[in-house]
Amino acid sequence: MTDLSHPLTAGVHLRPAMLDDAVSFAEALTRSRAYMKRWEPVRPEAFYTPEGQTRRLTALLADRDAGRAMPWVLADADESVVGAMTLAAIELGPFRNARLGYWIDVDRAGRGLATAAVGRVCEDARDRLGLHRVEAGTVVDNAASQRVLTKSGFEVIGTAPRYLHIDGAWRDHRMFQRILHDGPPQR
């Protein structure tokens, strides 16, 4: 099983997201807004407020409780948010698949945090959630994100034309998958 108590790097650990993270999410997303702009949907102003993050987290945690999502936070020693990883669209049955999304605070990028956290999230997806496959899509020129996925054992499966509305336009995406195991479904 994934050892969540073990830090990813000095001072930063991975833990499930909580409603109480809303203020810290709003601060980190505001701090990182310009940095993430090229790779993110255009968000309403409310997204960058504690109230907007409370609404987002309430919906996300309801999805988690229904088994459809698993939202993670990368947190500092004082529990402030410095990044996030989200498994969404979790599906069981013969598919046992989820979509992975992530971001790292502008002040913490380039230190291996995303790579360490993606590895940990995939272990948990395999060992606890019983998933077989995780998929992720990046804008075709998001080289940093593609590097994270490649380092984390993902393979390119193709290019999806006009896949997501990112930074104001429908952008072509490079699609990745990681097969987590080749055994039969566990449950």
> Each residue of 170-185: b (16+ CB within 10 Å) or e?
ebbbbbbbbebeeeee
Report the distance separating Cα 157 and Cα 135, nearest Å.
Answer: 10
Q: Between 52 and 154, whose beta carbon lies closer to ligand COA?
A: 154
Q: What are phi and psi of 111, to 5 degrees?
A: -120, 15
Q: How far is the CB of 102 from ligand COA (least distance, A)?
A: 5
Q: Between 62 and 143, whose beta carbon lies closer to ligand COA?
A: 143
> Each residue of 101-124: b (16+ CB within 10 Å) or e?
ebbbbeebbeeebbbbbbbbbbeb
Q: How far is the CB of 185 from ligand COA (least distance, A)?
A: 28
- Rg of the chain in Å (alpha carbons): 16
Chain residues binding ligand COA by CB under 6 A are 36, 39, 102-104, 109-115, 138, 142-145, 147-148
**How many residues are given for the chain?**
187
Q: How far is the CB of 113 from ligand COA (least distance, A)?
A: 4
Collapsed DSSP state (helix, strand, coil) of residue 119: helix
Inter-residue contact 77 to 116 (CB < 8 Å)? no
Q: Between 22 and 166, whose beta carbon lies closer to ligand COA?
A: 166
Q: Between 94 and 110, whose beta carbon lies closer to ligand COA?
A: 110
Q: Between 62 and 156, whose beta carbon lies closer to ligand COA?
A: 156
Q: How far is the CB of 139 from ligand COA (least distance, A)?
A: 7
Torsion, Cα 8 43 151 87, to 10 degrees, reads 70
Q: How far is the CB of 11 from ligand COA (least distance, A)?
A: 14
